[in-house]
Amino acid sequence: MNFFDFTDKVAVVFGASSGIGKAAALGYGDSGAKVAVLARRKEKLDDLVKEMHDKGYIATAFECDVTSEDSIKNAAKEIVEKYGKIDILFNNAGIAVPGSIENITVEQWNKSMNTNVRGAYMTMKYLIPEMKKNHYGKVINTASVNAVLFDKNEDLVRHAYNVSKSAMVGLTKAAAATYMKDGITINTIGPGLFETEMTEGTLFKHEGFMKAYNASNPAGRPGKMEELIGTIMYLSSDASNYVTGQLILVDGGITLV
Ligand SMILES: NC(=O)c1ccc[n+]([C@@H]2O[C@H](COP(=O)([O-])OP(=O)(O)OC[C@H]3O[C@@H](n4cnc5c(N)ncnc54)[C@H](O)[C@@H]3O)[C@@H](O)[C@H]2O)c1
């Protein structure tokens, strides 16, 4: 049995226009899946789909804002119309609002929660029923090491982000306990530090942070994208059929020490 052959599987990637989502979409394509790529920036998605088609992969772009219920509902309908079913949901859309409880506005707090938590709740709300129809599904949510590891420096503090990522762990565990009987596993990845649009201009530019991260990380460095994609593919595959409700930290061991 080839666990990582996704031929005949339909994978849906939210937040696919850049970073981890884009790399995962390519990973699903590499493994033979039909891939629905979603985000707000349609032109970026069109470029990704072109890149995937050039490689011989099957992929379609759907414009979607995860803060909008209608947008998610319509996208789910269009994906099922296009590909007939949904097997894999990679919930990856996210934003990192900087600041402490005192420094962020209520609007920033709401935007963080609406994107990172409410968005994932709504994608699961509309995609899980499609998975239940076939008694098969793999949901991979995206938390962070920042669900369990926190900064104390004022210029690095991201309280709304921390809370949203801790909430992803709770959402994952609660939903996992309910939907295993429907043949659906639900897990969450907790990436350490990877260079993407979210981090390249912020954390990667912060000399003090990078020094401290590398010094306290047993790997001594940030992760490489391919070191994260394998875990996403594992949790998307039948190799993980008895694994559910788990936070899998992909962090070079930084949470160990
Ligand atoms: N890069 C890291 O080191 C790291 C570490 C831990 C967790 N994460 C998480 O990984 C996920 C991906 O982040 P990334 O690092 O690839 O950054 P990124 O900024 O490149 O990707 C974020 C993606 O989410 C999309 N997005 C944001 N708001 C959206 C909305 N309202 N509707 C639809 N799509 C929306 C963006 O367009 C983009 O495609 C995020 O959830 C992030 O919190 C990243």
Positions marked catalytic: 161
Task: Specify if 65 maps to a domain.
Answer: yes
Ligand 1 center to 198 CA (angstroms): 7
Q: Is 213 exposed, middle or buried (0-12, 13-18, 19+ CB in 10 A)?
A: buried
- Has residue 165 got a pLDDT over 90? yes
Q: Which atom of ligand 1 is nearest to the CA of 21?
A: 16
Q: Which atom of ligand 1 is nearest to the CA of 165?
A: 43
Task: Specify if 59 maps to a domain.
Answer: yes
Q: What contacts 81, CB < 8 A, 6 or more positions away?
A: none
Task: Specify if 64 maps to a domain.
Answer: yes
Of 13, 20, 44, best ligand 1 pocket probe by most atoms within 8 Å of the beta carbon: 20
CATH number of the domain residue 31 falls in: 3.40.50.720
> What value does the mean pLDDT take over residues 179-185?
98
Task: Specify if 32 maps to a domain.
Answer: yes
Ligand 1 center to 181 CA (angstroms): 30
Ligand 1 center to 165 CA (angstroms): 12
Domain of residue 71: give its range. Answer: 10-195+225-252
Q: Whose CA is nearest to atom 39 of ligand 1?
A: 15
Looking at residue 158, the DSSP 8-state letter turns out to be B
Asked whether 163 and 128 are in contact (CB, 8 A), the reply is no
Asked whether 93 and 115 are in contact (CB, 8 A), the reply is yes
pLDDT tens per residue across span 91-147 = 999 999 999 999 999 999 999 999 999 999 999 999 999 999 999 999 999 999 999
> What value does the mean pLDDT take over residues 16-25?
98
Task: Fill in the amino acid letter for 250.
Answer: V
The total number of structural domains that make up the chain: 1
Q: Which atom of ligand 1 is nearest to the CA of 67?
A: 31
- Has residue 1 got a pLDDT over 90? no
- Has residue 203 got a pLDDT over 90? yes
Task: Specify if 63 maps to a domain.
Answer: yes
What is the chain's mean pLDDT, rounded? 97
Strands of the chain (E only): list them: 10-14, 34-39, 58-63, 88-91, 137-142, 184-191, 247-250
> What value does the mean pLDDT take over residues 248-252?
98
pLDDT tens per residue across span 31-70 = 999 999 999 999 999 999 999 999 999 999 999 999 999 9
User: What pLDDT does 186 receive?
Assistant: 99
Ligand 1 center to 36 CA (angstroms): 17
Residues at CB less than 6 angstroms from ligand 1: 15-21, 39-41, 64-67, 92-96, 115, 142, 144, 191, 193-194, 196-199
Q: Which atom of ligand 1 is nearest to the CA of 142?
A: 41
